[in-house]
């Protein structure tokens, strides 16, 4: 199974002979060659982390099968006999989500990473660490951290190999779970190594679970991690990521949020494009006209459900390009084009069902790695939101304990996940791997807002749209360690993912309208599927497939000939005019008036909250255009 540090042994110093011998490589002639820059990175990582073996990942199906078999022997995963090639992992209960409090950006100056908050407040827009503090933290963690373990070298591609929008990475890790997951979430292995041999630049990603062998303390659930020492650090100036102590997806699959958002957003700023926390979908009307939209929602706010929607409107079709991340760049004609840089779905399991997302359920029926979900006695998986299991079938919770309905704790962890290949999605868009990307007509912002925010509205223009993105707020979710139903600011759904100063990020978005080249800017919208009846607490809108009704209005507005077509001006933007949302077959209990009510008193409070937030958190780095939009909204809501 193992092939070692590849043909660099003489030329680049390679890895020490003792490491080489321990891999049992019979003949150096059988070892392919690592590109010099990759070899140098791997050699330095091996020198620091001191693994027992080095294995360069080729990405073949046999290699993946071997990795999974090894994980099963170690007790880290178990096979689920009910499905084809599906596996279940249970983590240490202290390693279940992204750890925002231990996720840092390392730059020379604090202001490169975050605006300096007023009055000594803590920044909510990222965590900065000084270079000297980071060096000390690294020294405390990484030396010898892979002792006794295999260091896997993963060459990976974010985006289709060879696309002009694609970027490359090399991750070293001592977690075979990460190797198995990266094989689903990225294009991985030899084809990428070939690209790197041509001299393509790459992001250097170093990850360790932080539990060298022999162990000093027993593992929980056979899951190696070091929760007390977790640190996920990003060095945008040198395009590096170093993650320690966590085996959980968002902290350890470094191609995901770490590279595809934090590092890529900085690369995008430097190169004039956008790296965003957005789904991408194609929507086709009954006449066969197709448009693509990108949408930014915070984690666990229905991105995957929208990206794989089964429209309730007859004759409409939705196809999925991606459910989490969009990289967008203007082409020579000035059209914004997007790729999904990922190769799989890393979705939240609870709440996913045949009722809410039948296409996701079909996607995860085979070749899927489940983490922290419940298990059925007949070899399947279960989580909250699924129908109860058949008679006689019992449940085991994510801790591995017997679970019964009515128990005080959930069967599946609220942030439990499925990791499945995107190509298995029954409605994957035919252009999902298009090298040039798909043309974006609309950008949608949204979040969980129980009151005051209408079902859908459109910005007055691009600048106002950037302000709407900057003003996003949403109930906190289980994807990070925040608890409870607090309404949090989450601008652009990027709050945990900015790779540089948020004020500069806003200026970058605003700069798109002053590009010298031809530019066709997408229209910008905001949606809210989660408004509640204040008297009963029930949702006002049925959501899921019915959300197609809001998308239909967005679709129409993208092709409008007059500004007021199917719309009326309001204090917050363009609302659908009465009757513009198709309600046929919706049911008489949906109160459209309540859904589109824009109470001045609510928005007066909202503007006050936004002013306090921008003043405290962004301060002098707030672009004057955003300040002007806030002032204009304040004037409109107080008229």
Q: What angle do CA 108, 43, 52 make, to 5 degrees?
A: 120
Spot the catalytic one: 301, 320, 411, 425.
Answer: 301
Contacts of 605 (CB under 8 A, 6+ apart): none
Catalytic residue among 95, 174, 324, 621: 324
CA-CA-CA-CA dihedral for 41, 44, 50, 53, to nearest 10: 40
Q: For residue 386, what is the DSSP state? A: B
Secondary structure class of 129 (helix, strand, coil): strand
* Phi, psi for residue 283 in degrees, rounded to 5: -125, 130
Active site residue 18: no
301 counts as catalytic: yes
Is 55 a residue of the active site? no
C-alpha 167: how far from its chain's center? 16
Which residues in 64-114 belong to E strands, given as ranges? 77-79, 87-89, 103-106
Q: Which of 434, 452, 399, 388 is nearest to 607 (CA)?
A: 452
Catalytic residue among 256, 277, 329, 335: 277
- Give the SS3 label for residue 609: helix
239 included as an active-site residue: no
Across the beta sheet with 344-348, the strand order is 77-79, 87-89, 369-371, 417-421, 344-348
CA-CA distance, 456 to 596, in Å (whole number)?
Answer: 8
**Active-site choice (98, 335, 489, 531):** 98
Which of 286, 205, 212 minimizes the C-alpha distance to 253?
205
Instruction: Please provide the DSSP assignment of 417-441 as one string.
Output: EEEEEGGG-TTB-TTTT-TT-EEEE
Cα 31 versus chain centre, distance: 35
Helix axes 190-197, 36-49, angle to 10 degrees: 120
CA distance 203 to 236: 9
DSSP string, 343-359: SEEEEE-TT-STTT-HH
Q: 278 with 326: CB under 8 angstroms? A: yes
Question: Element (H or E) spanning 170, and its range?
Answer: strand 167-173
| Closest C-alpha among 438, 492, 440 to residue 466 | 492
Task: Judge whether 71 and 202 are in contact, CB under 8 Å.
Answer: no
Crossing angle of the two packed helices 624-637 and 462-470, in degrees rounded to 10: 80
Are 227 and 240 within 8 A, CB to CB?
no
Active site (annotated) includes residue 500: no
Q: What secondary structure letter does DSSP report for 551?
A: H
Q: Could you confirm whether 98 is annotated as catalytic?
A: yes
- State the catalytic residue, choosing from 53, 239, 257, 531: 257
Q: Which of 20, 207, 417, 549 is catalytic?
A: 417
Residue 2 annotated in active site = no
How far is the CA of 179 from the CAs of 361, 365, 396, in angstroms?
24, 21, 27
Q: How far is CA 12 from CA 31, 37, 146, 199, in A?
A: 15, 10, 22, 16
Instruction: Tell me the C-alpha distance between 495 and 130, whole Å.
Output: 20
Give dist(CA 79, CA 94) in Å, integer.
23
Catalytic residue, candidates 152, 248, 359, 505: 248
Is position 177 annotated as part of the catalytic site? no
Between CA 174 and CA 241 the distance in angstroms is 15
Question: Residue 507 corresponds to which tokens in the numbers above?
Answer: 């200026």
Strand stretches in 301-416, DSSP E: 317-322, 326-330, 336-339, 344-348, 369-371, 374-376, 381-382, 395-396, 402-403
Count of CB atoms within 10 A of residue 460's CB? 17
Catalytic residue among 299, 459, 471, 474: 299
Q: Active-site residue numbers?
A: 98, 248, 257, 277, 299, 301, 324, 417
């Amino acid at each position: 199974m193992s092939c070692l540090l590849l043909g660099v042994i003489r030329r680049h110093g390679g890895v020490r002979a003792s490491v080489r011998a321990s891999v049992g490589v019979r003949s150096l002639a059988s070892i392919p060659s690592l590109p010099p820059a990759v070899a140098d990175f791997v050699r330095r990582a091996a020198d620091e982390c001191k693994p027992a073996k080095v294995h360069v990942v080729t990405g073949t199906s046999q290699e993946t099968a071997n990795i999974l078999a090894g994980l099963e022997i170690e007790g880290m995963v178990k096979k689920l006999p009910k499905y084809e090639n599906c596996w279940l992992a249970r983590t240490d209960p202290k390693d279940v989500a992204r750890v925002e409090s231990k996720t840092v950006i390392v730059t020379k100056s604090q202001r490169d990473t975050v605006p300096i908050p007023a009055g000594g407040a803590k920044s909510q827009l990222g965590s900065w660490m000084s270079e000297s503090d980071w060096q000390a933290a690294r020294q405390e963690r990484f030396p010898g951290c892979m002792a006794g373990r295999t260091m896997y070298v993963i060459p990976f591609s974010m985006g289709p190999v060879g696309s002009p929008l694609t970027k490359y990475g090399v991750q070293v890790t001592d977690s075979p779970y990460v190797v198995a997951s990266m094989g689903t979430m990225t294009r991985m292995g030899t084809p990428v190594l070939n690209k790197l041999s041509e001299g393509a630049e790459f992001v250097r990603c170093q990850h360790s679970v932080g539990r060298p062998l022999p162990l000093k303390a027993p593992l929980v659930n056979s899951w190696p991690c070091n929760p007390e020492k977790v640190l996920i650090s990003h060095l945008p100036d040198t395009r590096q990521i170093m993650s320690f102590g966590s085996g959980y997806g968002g902290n350890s699959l470094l191609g995901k949020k770490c590279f595809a958002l934090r590092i890529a957003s900085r690369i995008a700023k430097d190169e004039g494009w956008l790296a965003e926390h957005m789904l991408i979908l194609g929507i086709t009307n009954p006449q066969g006209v197709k448009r693509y939209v990108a949408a930014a929602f915070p984690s666990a706010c229905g991105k995957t459900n929208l990206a794989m929607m089964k429209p309730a409107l007859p004759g409409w079709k939705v196809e999925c390009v991606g459910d989490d991340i969009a990289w967008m760049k203007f082409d020579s004609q000035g059209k914004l084009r997007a790729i999904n840089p990922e190769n799989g779905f890393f979705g939240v399991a609870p709440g996913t069902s045949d009722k809410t997302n039948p296409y996701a359920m079909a996607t995860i029926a085979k070749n899927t790695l489940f983490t922290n979900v419940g298990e059925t006695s007949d070899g399947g998986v279960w989580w909250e939101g699924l129908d109860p299991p058949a008679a006689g079938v019992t449940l085991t919770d994510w801790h591995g304990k017997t679970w019964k309905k009515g128990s005080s704790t959930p069967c599946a962890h609220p942030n439990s996940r499925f990791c499945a290949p995107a190509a298995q999605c029954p409605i994957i868009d035919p252009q999902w791997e298009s090298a040039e990307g798909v043309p974006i007509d609309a950008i949608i912002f949204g979040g969980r807002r129980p009151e005051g925010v209408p079902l859908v509205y459109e910005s007055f223009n691009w600048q106002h749209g950037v302000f709407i993105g900057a003003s996003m707020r949403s109930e906190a979710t289980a994807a990070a360690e925040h608890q409870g139903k607090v309404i949090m600011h989450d601008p652009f759904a990027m709050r945990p993912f900015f790779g540089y100063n948020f004020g500069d990020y806003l200026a970058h978005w605003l700069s798109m309208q002053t590009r010298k080249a031809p530019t066709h800017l997408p229209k910008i919208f905001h949606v809210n599927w989660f408004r509640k009846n204040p008297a009963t607490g029930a949702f006002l809108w049925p959501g899921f497939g019915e959300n197609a009704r809001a998308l239909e209005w967005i679709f129409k507005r993208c092709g409008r000939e007059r500004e007021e077509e199917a719309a009326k001006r309001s204090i917050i933007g363009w609302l659908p005019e009465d009757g513009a949302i198709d309600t046929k077959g919706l049911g008489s209990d949906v109160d459209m008036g309540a859904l589109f009510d824009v109470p001045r008193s609510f928005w007066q409070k909202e503007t006050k909250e936004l002013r306090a937030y921008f003043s405290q958190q962004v301060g002098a780095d707030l672009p004057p255009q955003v300040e002007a939009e806030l002032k204009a909204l304040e004037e409109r809501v107080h008229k």
